[in-house]
Amino acid sequence: MQIFELQKHEYIELNNLLKITGLCASGGLAKLLIADGLVTVDGQVELRKRCKIRPGQVVEFDGQKISVIQQSA
């Protein structure tokens, strides 16, 4: 499981998370995969490309999991 640490923001958009973590080569590809129902958030299929992912949530795509946490002060 990958850990993604949010730094200054309270959320990250789902398509950006997939791109930044390297699970998708581009934001456009991430949007297509999300629209095709291939991404889950907390175990539920998520179809909103710009869904706000907050600390404590787990995103899964292609057998890979990303746990989102808030950066420690």
CATH number at residue 31: 3.10.290.10
Domain limits at 61?
Answer: 2-70
pLDDT > 80? residue 3: yes
Q: What is the pLDDT of residue 55?
A: 95
Spatial CA neighbour of 15 closest among 42, 59, 49:
49
- pLDDT per residue as tens digits for the range 19-67: 999 999 998 999 999 999 999 999 999 999 999 999 999 999 999 999 9
* Count of structural domains, the chain: 1
